[in-house]
Structure 1
């Protein structure tokens, strides 16, 4: 009896915990459990040849993300909130445009009886839910647009509307590099960082309060930080990934740095420290 109990406990220990995904479309909140998602008739086996997070070919049970968000407006904005505070931002058009001419967004579901492997030695797996892409190159999907450990998906206004203190000055021309850099910031930085105290992510520091990195890093060092963070700063809890030229072009990096320099001159006044 003791042997059977031990075997049962070992089997239980290898099971992935049951999870719940929250969907908030602005028209009511819905919560779907792992079991409910796996029981959907549109669940498919999806083979991902170049998984960004696992750096290997992976196979998942997944549902089309578009099917979970019926009637979503292409102009809508999606936020994927992870268990660790990562908050990825994606335009709805990436989801509604899936098909032969674009990338296909799938929500991978971790089965309780077959947990996914750890992402690395010191990290858990990508479960319970993970946004994976088929044909990501067709829509220029970057690594920050593969959020894992997803807890909630929200339909929100775009970041420029939600976070006005992030916006470049209104008098800049439409094609100004700082405006292009703001778009680069939203795509690659907003998932981990706030700026001027605004944003939903909680992983990285604010990039303008109390100082912009352009205040204290030479431009070549800032470029090194973006390309290969560990070559500039090393510590065990470091989570910032490096952005290769394939992910973030030199032109986009130029515009991002221009945006950060611009916003350094548009920093809110510090809040006075109360005195006794």
Structure 2
């Protein structure tokens, strides 16, 4: 009952802070709705709503002026979700194009499910996401802050595989995929900014307690292994991670099980 009441409450104006390293700027809902490049867009097959959605949105490229194409950004949600996104796709003005959708307090978005609030006040959405294979983890909603940071590997050396491995080793490929598809929710070796999901190496790595292919089954569809109505972890389909890529992620996790780091060594 309480959840239903909360989702029915009116939406209030919010603020988004964007920190690009040379000072931060805070945008209000009204300022973003009135931005000179704001426009109405339709998003077919919205990742969060699972249907076509209509938004008032500003191109991310317009909010990230001056950011180098090889930079790295992080979008932080109010629930602790921290999406790591290279700047390049965010700056595209064709193909896969990133937009900041703004929830109008006068016209609030629907809840994401029966007992959950909507994706507002700010939601990073994409037009033509397939063109650049944009991951569902790169659609953060309830965003409160976007900041320019050094790459994950520089900030969190505790995540790094053995330096002796070749660049094209499946473990290194799995590390890249882990950053894109897993790191928004999970830490590893105590390293990371997300506060949403459990650490995947401490105290135990999932490859240490999932036998055979059960870990892959769980990643593909958690409900196929453990049926739980309140489960939050989404399925990762072959469209997001191919079978080969899924194997590479598992190879990275298995490799890191032998590289546990604890204490201050896990922090940058």
- TM-score for both structures, normalised by structure 1: 0.90
The runs of 5 or more residues in structure 2 that have no matched partner are 1-7
Distance 1:230 1:223 in 2: 12
| Partner-residue secondary structure (3-state), 1:50 | coil
| Partner-residue secondary structure (3-state), 2:252 | helix
Relative to structure 1, the CA distance from residue 43 to residue 208 in structure 2 (aligned partners, 3 Å threshold; closer, same or farther) is same
Distance 1:107 1:269 in 2: 37
Counterpart position of 2:17: 22
Displacement after TM superposition at 1:237 (Å): 4.0
Counterpart position of 1:37: 32
Displacement after TM superposition at 1:40 (Å): 1.1
User: Do structure 1's residue 222 and structure 2's residue 215 form an aligned pair?
Assistant: yes
User: Do structure 1's residue 90 and structure 2's residue 85 form an aligned pair?
Assistant: yes
Q: Deviations over 1:138-158 (max 9, x none)?
A: 111121111101010111111
Distance 1:225 1:77 in 2: 30
Counterpart position of 2:201: 208
Counterpart position of 1:268: 261
Contact 1:90 1:145 in 2 (8 A): yes
The runs of 5 or more residues in structure 1 that have no matched partner are 1-12, 272-276
Displacement after TM superposition at 1:236 (Å): 4.7
| Partner-residue secondary structure (3-state), 1:105 | strand
Counterpart position of 1:80: 75
Contact 2:190 2:262 in 1 (8 A): no
What is the number of equivalent residue pairs in this alignment? 257
| Partner-residue secondary structure (3-state), 2:248 | helix
Counterpart position of 2:3: none
Counterpart position of 2:168: 175
- TM-score for both structures, normalised by structure 2: 0.93
Among 236, 239, 260, the residue aligned to 1:243? 236
RMSD of the TM alignment (CA)? 1.4
Counterpart position of 1:258: 251
Contact 2:91 2:98 in 1 (8 A): no
Displacement after TM superposition at 1:15 (Å): 3.0
Displacement after TM superposition at 1:122 (Å): 2.0
Distance 1:265 1:108 in 2: 42
Q: Deviations over 1:196-218 (max 9, x none)?
A: 00000111100000110000101
Displacement after TM superposition at 1:233 (Å): 2.4
Counterpart position of 1:10: none
Among 202, 207, 225, the residue aligned to 1:232? 225
Contact 2:92 2:98 in 1 (8 A): no
